[in-house]
């Protein structure tokens, strides 16, 4: 399985930030390895610019959300097929910021994930516990129940990715211990194997939450970790490429 280093720019940057894409493309020209894939999910307004700048490069471009419906009266929303047509390869679904800011629920996330792969995108489905859940010793129960309820009804071979992102680690500089990350990923892997059999072993599991160049090697070296979903450190090409290099 390839390792995926995925950047989530969230609602950050200006048009001049597209120079970071150029720098990543240049960096990957010399650093690309077949074992590691690189993906940036910029604000959707820059998706087509980013796709154009990546032509001929191994860098892939994704989106940060999509609507569950294929089309219709949904002012301000964007469908998965529109993203696909614009050149996106992946879409992040159910990020904790969407769960919080837009009250997204597990069943909605499952429907969005289904819409994504129906349109030809690979959904990156995010799950993760709050600090309160972790302190109460409920992290594994909460995450595994989110996982079960967020998985789409789909064809057996439809591709998807799971990102475990403890909410309290996102953008805070805090991370779980390596043991806690590994333990959670092993639980997620076991649940996927129970549900999908052999295929469960091949569903990529990303870790997200304050991954930086200086902790990436330790986290990415854990068993059952197939890459990272990176927020803040993906905004600067230098940091993103440094994390990529740790994975290579």
The set of catalytic residues is 95, 165
Angle at 125 between CA 123 and CA 126, to 5 degrees: 145
Q: Residue 208 interacts with ligand PEP (CB under 6 A)? A: yes
DSSP H or E stretch at residue 40: strand 36-41
- Does position 129 interact with ligand PEP (CB under 6 A)? The reply is no
Q: Give yes or no for residue 8 binding ligand PEP (CB under 6 A).
A: yes
- Per DSSP, 15 falls in state G
Six-digit token string for 220: 């990415």
Smallest gap from residue 85 Cβ to ligand PEP (A): 25
Q: Of the listed pieces 29-37, 68-76, 190-198, 209-217, which binds ligand PEP according to CB under 6 A? A: 209-217
67: which DSSP letter? B
Copy the structure tokens of residue 166. Answer: 């403890």
Reading the block at residue 44, the tokens are 């959707």
DSSP-assigned states of every residue in 55-87? TTSS-EEEES--BSSSSSS-TT--BHHHHHHTT
Q: Which is nearer to ligand PEP, 74 or 102 (CB)?
A: 102
Give min distance, CB of 8 to ligand PEP, in A. Answer: 5
- Which residues inside 227-246 make contact with ligand PEP, applying CB under 6 A? 229-233
Nearer CB in complex with ligand PEP: 143/229: 229
- How do strand 60-63 and strand 227-230 relate by DSSP bridges? unpaired
- Give me the least distance between CB of 213 and ligand PEP, in Å please: 12
Q: Closest approach of Cβ 37 to ligand PEP, in Å?
A: 17
Contact 6, 228 (CB under 8 A): yes
Residue ranges in contact with ligand PEP by CB under 6 A: 8, 165, 170-171, 208-211, 229-233
């Amino acid at each position: 399985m390839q390792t995926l280093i995925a950047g989530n720019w969230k609602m950050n940057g200006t048009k001049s930030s597209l120079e970071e894409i150029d720098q990543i493309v240049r960096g990957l020209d010399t650093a690309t390895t077949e074992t590691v894939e690189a993906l940036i999910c910029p604000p959707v307004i820059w998706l087509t610019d980013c796709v154009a700048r990546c032509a001929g490069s191994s860098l892939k471009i994704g989106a940060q959300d999509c609507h569950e419906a294929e089309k219709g009266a949904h002012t301000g929303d964007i469908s998965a097929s529109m993203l696909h047509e614009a050149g996106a390869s992946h879409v992040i679904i159910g990020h904790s910021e969407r769960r919080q800011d837009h009250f997204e629920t597990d069943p909605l996330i499952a429907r969005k994930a289904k819409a994504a792969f129906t349109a030809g995108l690979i959904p990156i489905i995010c799950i993760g516990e709050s600090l309160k859940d972790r302190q109460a010793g409920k992290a594994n129960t909460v995450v595994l129940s989110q996982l079960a309820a967020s998985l789409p009804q789909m064809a057996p071979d439809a591709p998807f990715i799971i990102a475990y992102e403890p909410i309290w680690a996102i953008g805070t500089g805090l991370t779980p211990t390596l043991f806690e990350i590994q333990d959670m990923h092993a639980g997620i892997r076991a649940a996927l194997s129970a549900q999908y059999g052999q295929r469960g072993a091949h569903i990529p599991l990303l870790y997200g939450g304050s991954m930086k160049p200086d902790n990436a090697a330790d986290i990415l070296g854990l068993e059952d970790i197939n890459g990272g979903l990176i927020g803040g450190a993906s905004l600067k090409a230098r940091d993103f490429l440094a994390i990529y290099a740790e994975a290579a």
